[in-house]
Structure 1
Amino acid sequence: MALAPKFKGQRLLFFQAEPTSPTDTSDSSESLHTVELYLDYVCPFSAKMFNTLLTTVFPAIRSESSLSPKLQFLFRSQVQPWHPSSTLVHEASVAVLRLAPHKFWDFSSALFQNQKAYFDVSVVNETRNETYKRLAKLATESTDGAINETEMYDLVKVSDKPAEDGSLNVGNAVTNDLKVLIKMARLVGVHVSPTVIFDGVVAGEVSSSWSGEQWVEWLRKNVG
């Protein structure tokens, strides 16, 4: 599935070729194998998979010339509403895409590392905007200040005043972007996290329990 330019921060590339002529398409995304990762920030199994990829698999891909020019990974937001805070943390990631797309993977890593702070028990006694304030602070801290905490909070906070038309379902500044991401997951029928799609087909054999070595072996087999 395509990736809208406004969500470009969700793409991870490992190699950037310099075109040799105006008609050279060697660096076109059409030539890349695509691994789509449907992950939820408050899912322990998503965290396990993400951390394995980040710490072991991605460095291995970068060091292996048979893989790095041929692969791209796409982070796909998989909101799971049985965890109410899932919406909030994914909204925060969309805000980061808006403010500093190059820091999206850093912020995602921070969310997974701190995911217990956003589990049901951890948020049940605070207001929605209080959770947003904590997320804005985390964004600033995890991106070395690339994200302004106030600007981040302004994107995700929900007003306690009706809209001009009287609507009480006012949402926030990233609501419409999150709707698009949710529609994308529904279009391909993804129901749970983590789900991995390889070149457009669900890779049911991929498990969150896979080691880095298993991932690399699978990628070698499928990329060739």
Structure 2
Amino acid sequence: MALPPKFKGHRLLFFSDDPSVPAPTETAALEPLHTIEIFLDYVCPFSAKAFKTIVTSVAPRIRADPRLAGKVQVLLRQQIQPWHPSSTLVHEAALAVERLAPDKFWEFSAALFDDQEAYFDVNVVNETRNNTYRRLAKLGAKSVGVNEEELYSLLAIPEKAAEGGSLNIGNQVTNDLKIVIKTARLVGVHVSPTVIFDGVVN
């Protein structure tokens, strides 16, 4: 499935670590890539394990193999599972970081997985939504150096109705969130982690 340009931070490309392997040319860049799409929920323990495997085992092996580097891409697909109510908020934070610093998306994803228990049910049950967003903004500033206030402003829910009286107005990344949810629904993904290789669920 295609990747909208505004979500370019979701894409992980590989280039060989071997200095004898030439850098990709324009012609090579036009060649289709094998695509691993991994659907993950930041508040799912199984997704955390899958993410760690991709980052610490799969990615280094691809980079180390000149036959694979430059021919494979990994797309992190956000999979919000509604039985984890805080999942929406955490995924919104990742989208907001990507908007501010697309090159920090994977690094912030790692920080979210490392800190995921802070957003489990018991740890958010007595917290307002904007308070959770505030913690996520602090994590973004601490882990990847984005501006905490800019991040929070993308996430915060206004306390007043919009013009026209609407009370269900969401935040600055609500429309992006709708797109990532549609992406998973279009291919029938229900749970995380789910892996799709070259368009086929594995």
Matched, 1:55 2:61: no
Give the partner amino acid of 2:196: I
Matched, 1:94 2:101: no
What displacement does 1:142 show? 1.0
**Residues 77-112 of structure 1: per-residue CA shift (max 9 Å, x gap):** 100111110000000011011100000000000000
Looking at structure 2, the residues matched to 109 and 132 of structure 1 have their Cα atoms a distance apart, in angstroms, of: 18
What displacement does 1:27 show? 0.9
Q: Which residue of 2 aligns with 1:194?
A: 193
- Percent identical pairs in the alignment equals 67
Looking at structure 1, the residues matched to 64 and 190 of structure 2 have their Cα atoms a distance apart, in angstroms, of: 34
Looking at structure 1, the residues matched to 200 and 57 of structure 2 have their Cα atoms a distance apart, in angstroms, of: 24
What displacement does 1:49 show? 0.7
What displacement does 1:18 show? 2.5
TM-score (norm 1): 0.85
TM-score (norm 2): 0.94
Q: Which residue of 2 aligns with 1:83?
A: 84
Q: Which residue of 2 aligns with 1:17?
A: 24
Q: Which residue of 2 aligns with 1:65?
A: 66
Aligned partner of residue 38 in structure 1, secondary structure: strand
Aligned partner of residue 181 in structure 1, secondary structure: helix
Q: Which residue of 2 aligns with 1:127?
A: 128
Looking at structure 1, the residues matched to 93 and 25 of structure 2 have their Cα atoms a distance apart, in angstroms, of: 34
What displacement does 1:132 show? 0.3
Written as runs of structure 1 = structure 2, the 5 A alignment for 1:1-224 is 1-15=1-15, 17-19=24-26, 24=27, 26-28=28-30, 30-143=31-144, 145=145, 147-203=146-202
Q: Which residue of 2 aligns with 1:222?
A: none
Aligned partner of residue 29 in structure 2, secondary structure: coil
Aligned partner of residue 132 in structure 2, secondary structure: helix
Looking at structure 1, the residues matched to 62 and 34 of structure 2 have their Cα atoms a distance apart, in angstroms, of: 13
Aligned partner of residue 80 in structure 1, secondary structure: coil
Q: Which runs of 4+ in 1 moved over 4 A?
A: none
Aligned partner of residue 70 in structure 2, secondary structure: helix
Q: CA RMSD in A?
A: 0.9
What displacement does 1:175 show? 0.1
Looking at structure 2, the residues matched to 200 and 13 of structure 1 have their Cα atoms a distance apart, in angstroms, of: 17
**Residues 188-213 of structure 1: per-residue CA shift (max 9 Å, x gap):** 0000000000000001xxxxxxxxxx
